[in-house]
Amino acid sequence: MISSLFGLGFGYFCGSIPFGLLLTRFAGTEDIRTIGSKNIGATNVLRTGRKDLAAATLLLDALKGAVAVWIAMRWGDAPAMLAGFGAFLGHCYPVWLKFQGGKGVATWFGVLLAFSPWIFLAAGAIWLAMALLKRYSSLSSLTSSAAIALFEVGSGFVTGRWSMGILVIVAMTALLWFKHRPNIERLLAGTEGKIGQKG
């Protein structure tokens, strides 16, 4: 129990590092919390016109999820799974920014990579296919996360084994959708910004 709670806390600390905000601030760009979706993730960093900063944010936000899991694996499976959820939670609700964080997509991918490279690749393929088809980052993220969660739940029913990993993936997906509520509303209204679009 103690190691699991430590894993959750350690993951939260890793995930709460706001790389998008830190990178853009050091680069002297406009405050990303005042433009676009106003969140600290890579998609909004891209709206500053700095593709290099967006790529760095994407990589670091993913790595903080993966690294949290990889390190916590030393303490056992349960701490590692909870570290993944903690990292995702920390990105979405960082204490340093009064719990106003990003939407967790890159960190979600990082956690998936640490859990299973094959699931990570499947999620990435779904995201990329939808992005190429519709050019909406939010729609790609929603589609990919839902597909992976449904696959995990389906595998649980088929095998009869409900691991903590499945529960964590489902919980992350539910929170990811919750954080995307404004995007869903804009998608339905036809006003959602497309990938690479400024403002």
Task: Give the tens place of pLDDT for each residue, 149-195.
Answer: 999 999 888 877 778 889 999 999 999 999 999 999 999 999 887 87
pLDDT of residue 106: 95
Lowest mean pLDDT of 34-38, 55-59, 83-87, 98-102, name the range.
34-38
Looking at the predicted structure, is the pLDDT value of residue 75 above 60? Answer: yes
Q: Is residue 126 part of a domain?
A: yes
Question: Is there a contact between 134 and 86 (Cβ–Cβ < 8 Å)?
Answer: no
Q: Is residue 198 part of a domain?
A: no
Per-residue burial over 80-107, b if 16 or more Cβ lie within 10 Å, else e, is bbbbbbbbbbbbbbbeeeeeebbbbbbb
- Which residue would you say has higher pLDDT here, 65 or 43? 65
Coil vs helix vs strand at 68: helix
Q: Is residue 67 part of a domain?
A: yes
Q: Which domain holds residue 58?
A: 2-189
**Identity of residue 54:** A
Q: Is residue 194 part of a domain?
A: no
Give the pTM: 0.89
Q: Is residue 6 part of a domain?
A: yes
Q: Is residue 29 part of a domain?
A: yes
Give per-residue pLDDT as tens, 8-34. 999 999 999 999 999 988 988 888 888
- Which residue would you say has higher pLDDT here, 175 or 51? 175
Region 28-53: mean pLDDT is: 83
Nearest to 119 by CA among 45, 69, 182: 69
Lowest mean pLDDT of 10-14, 34-38, 139-143, name the range.
34-38
Looking at the predicted structure, is the pLDDT value of residue 91 above 60? Answer: yes
* 113 alpha carbon, distance to own chain's centre: 12
Nearest to 17 by CA among 63, 55, 84, 53: 63
Nearest to 106 by CA among 45, 147, 27, 36: 45
Q: How many structural domains comprise the chain? A: 1
Radius of gyration for the alpha carbons in the chain, expressed in angstroms and rounded: 16
Q: Is residue 199 part of a domain?
A: no
Region 75-88: mean pLDDT is: 94
Looking at the predicted structure, is the pLDDT value of residue 199 above 70? Answer: no
Question: Is there a contact between 99 and 93 (Cβ–Cβ < 8 Å)?
Answer: yes
Q: How far apart are CA 9 and CA 85, in angstroms?
A: 10
From residue 3, alpha-carbon distances to 7, 12, 38, 89, 168 in Å are 6, 14, 35, 18, 17
Which band of pLDDT confidence, cut at 50, 70 and 90, is reported for residue 73? very high
pLDDT of residue 192: 87
Q: How far apart are CA 81 and CA 79, in angstroms?
A: 6
- Which residue would you say has higher pLDDT here, 121 or 159? 121
Q: Exposed, middle or buried: residue 138 (CB in 10 Å: 0-12, 13-18, 19+)?
A: buried
Q: Is residue 119 part of a domain?
A: yes
Region 120-141: mean pLDDT is: 94
